[in-house]
Amino acid sequence: MSEKTLTRMDLSEAVFREVGLSRNDSAQLVESVLAHMSDALVQGEQVKISSFGTFNVRDKAARVGRNPKTGEEVPISPRRVLTFRPSHLMKERVAAGNKS
């Protein structure tokens, strides 16, 4: 498995090459898209990107957890978590990449 990480800079560079915007405009476009996605998720909205996947915010209730080492019960406070569900096309594309 590759240890390369796709960064914001990589995304803006791809926009620069593919779309032809300046590097500065490409970086601003990537930042703007990520900011819109983040803002929508903070507000509890679902973010769906066709042929890629869906981001959701889920509310998890308070519960009692256990320290696996000591067995001691520990309260876990309620929280919001981000989930991602890939589209079928993305799943197929990743699976096809694993075969090669």
Retrieve residue 62's tokens. Answer: 């308070």
| Cα-only R_g, the chain | 19
Retrieve residue 87's tokens. Answer: 């589209």
**Helix or strand (DSSP H, E) at 93:** helix 88-99
Q: Which long-range contacts (CB under 8 A, 24 or more apart) does 34-41 make?
A: 34/8, 41/82
In which residue are the tokens 């970086």 written? 27
Sorted by where each starts, the structural domains of the chain and their CATH numbers stand as 7-43 (no CATH), 44-99 (4.10.520.10)
- Residues 13-51 have pLDDT tens digits of 999 999 989 999 999 999 999 999 999 999 999 999 999
Global confidence as pTM: 0.77
Mapped onto helix, strand or coil, the DSSP state of residue 4 is: coil
